[in-house]
Amino acid sequence: MTFQEVFREIKREKIPENLTVKCIDDAYDFHEQVFIPFRTELRANNLTSLMPHYRGEQKNGWDIVSGIFRSPLDKLSNSEGKNLEKLAIIEFENIITTKIGDNILRTIFNHKTYGKDWDLLFQAQHGGIKTTLTDWTAYIINALYFATEFSSNKEIENADAQLWCLMVPEKNIISDSDFFIKKSIYEMNPYNLENFYLLNPSIFVDNVYERIFEYRMYKQSGRFLALPNDYCNIPINKNDMFKDILFQIRIPKEYKESIRQSLTKKGITRERLFAVENPTHDKLIKDINCKIFKLE
C-alpha cells in the first residue's frame, strides 16, 4: 500500500462519519478517544505525526476564512488582502500607542528580524483587527465555548454550531520551544509566506495583564494558522491541502444552551477567556477597520 492508502485506511478506521457533539463529554471524548488515537496510530505506522487543534464557530456551514476575506471583503485577491493587512498593522500600532500608551504592546521580540511584525499581527488579531490569520486552540473545550456562545442574532442563535479539528503536521507547528528545533517564527516574513504554519507564540507573563492584547492571547491559549500568500484568500475547508486532515463536528442547536450551562459550571465563561473588555478600546479597533478596509 502507498503512504496515502495507509493513511486513509487508518483515517477510515479511527474517524467516524457525521461527527456530532451534544454535551461537554462528547467533546472530551472526541479529543481523547478519536483524534489522539488517530495521531497515535499514524505514528505507530511510521507515518506523519499530527497534532489536533480546534476552532469553534457559531453557525454550522460557515467557511473557515480569515477576517480580511470575509464578506463584504470576500472579493479581495490574495495580494490585495496581504497589502491591506500590512497597512492595518501599521495603523494598529500607531493608534494604540498614541491613544492608549507605549506599554500596551509587547516588545520582547522586537530585536528579531520580523519579531515586531509578528507580535503586532498576533496582538491585532486578538484585538479584532482584520488579518489573514485564523484563531485555533489546542483545547477543545475553549473551542466549544466559542461555538456555543450566545448570539443576539436570531439566525445564528437558532442554527446548529460547529467545531473544526485540524490535525496539523508537527513539521508545520512552530513555537518558541526548543523541543522541536525549527526556524524561528521571528525569522520568517509574515507578509511573504510560502507554506502554512500553526504558530504557538510564547507569552511574556510578567505584568501581562497590562498588555491588553497579549493578555487575551494568554487567556485563550491562542494559536494562529498562517497561510502562504498564494492561497491565503481560499477558505481552509475548501483547500485541497487540508482535505485529509480537517474534520467538521456539528453541534445541534437544541443542545447549545445546555452546553453553555455546563461550560459555566466548569468556569469556562467569557470573563475567563477574555481580558477586561473596554468600549473605548473596541471603538479604536472598529475605527481602524473602517479606515483601512472602507467599512461602514
pTM for this predicted structure: 0.94
Q: What is the mean pLDDT of the chain?
A: 93
Which residues, given as ranges, of the chain have pLDDT below 70? 1, 177-182
CA distance 233 to 67: 10
Domain that holds residue 13: 3-293
Counting Cα atoms < 13 Å in the Cβ hemisphere of 50 gives 26
pLDDT in tens, 143-199: 999 999 999 999 999 999 999 999 999 999 998 765 555 678 898 999 999 999 999
Give the per-residue pLDDT at 3.
75
Q: What is the pLDDT of residue 181?
A: 52
Distances (CA, A) of 131 to 37, 65, 107, 247: 34, 10, 20, 24
- What's the structural domain count of the chain? 1
Cα torsion angle, 58, 64, 68, 70, sign? negative
Using a pLDDT cut of 70, give the percent of the chain over it. 97
